[in-house]
Homo-oligomer: A and B are copies of this chain.
Amino acid sequence: MSEKELSDVRADLQERYNQFKARGLKLNMARGKPETEQLQLSMGMLDALNSASDLYASTGDDCRNYGMPYGLPEMRELFSHMMGVDASNIIAGGNSSLNMMFDTVSCGVTHGFSGCLPWGRQGAVKFLCPSPGYDRHFAVTEYFGFELITVPMLPTGPDMDVVEKLVSNDELVKGIWCVPKYSNPTGITYSDETVRRFAALKPAAKDFRIFWDNAYCVHDLTDTPDQLLNLWLECKKNGTEDLPVFFVSTSKISFPGAGVAALGASDNNLAVLKKHFSYETIGPDKLNQLRHLYFFKDYDGILEQMKKHRKLLAPKFKAVANKLESELGGKGVACWTNPNGGYFISVDVLNGCAKRVVSLCKEAGVTLTNAGATFPYGKDPNDSNIRVAPTYPPVDELEVAMDLFCICVQLAAAEKLLNK
**Complex formed: what's the CA distance from A282 to B98 in Å?**
7
**Complex formed: what's the CA distance from A279 to B134 in Å?**
13
Q: What residue of chain B has the Cβ atom nearest to residue A286's Cβ?
A: B257
Count of chain A residues with a beta carbon within 8 Å of a chain B beta carbon:
53
Q: Chain B residues near A21 (CB, 8 Å)?
A: none
Question: With A94-B95, A98-B281, A258-B64 given, is the CB distance from A46 to B39 under 8 Å?
Answer: no
Contact B62 A51 (CB under 8 A): no
Interface residue? A155 (CB, 8 A): no
Interface 0/1 of A234-264, CB less than 8 Å to B: 0000000000000000010001111000000
Q: What residue of chain B has the Cβ atom nearest to residue A111's Cβ?
A: B143
Majority secondary structure of chain A interface residues (helix, strand, loop or mixed): loop
Contact A43 B51 (CB under 8 A): yes
Q: What residue of chain B has the Cβ atom nearest to residue A283's Cβ?
A: B257
Question: With A46-B49, A50-B46, A51-B44 given, is the CB distance from A257 to B65 under 8 Å?
Answer: yes
Contact A99 B281 (CB under 8 A): yes
Q: Chain B residues near A47 (CB, 8 Å)?
A: 50-51
Q: Chain B residues near A64 (CB, 8 Å)?
A: 39, 42, 255-258
Within 8 A of B (CB), among A32-54: 33-34, 36, 39, 42-44, 46-47, 49-51, 53
Interface 0/1 of A197-227, CB less than 8 Å to B: 0000000000000000000000000000000
In the complex, which of the residues A36, A282, A286 has the most CB atoms of chain B within 10 Å of its own CB atom? A282
A and B contact pairs by CB, cutoff 8 A, 12 listed: A31-B66, A33-B66, A36-B65, A46-B287, A64-B256, A65-B255, A65-B256, A95-B284, A96-B283, A103-B280, A140-B280, A257-B282
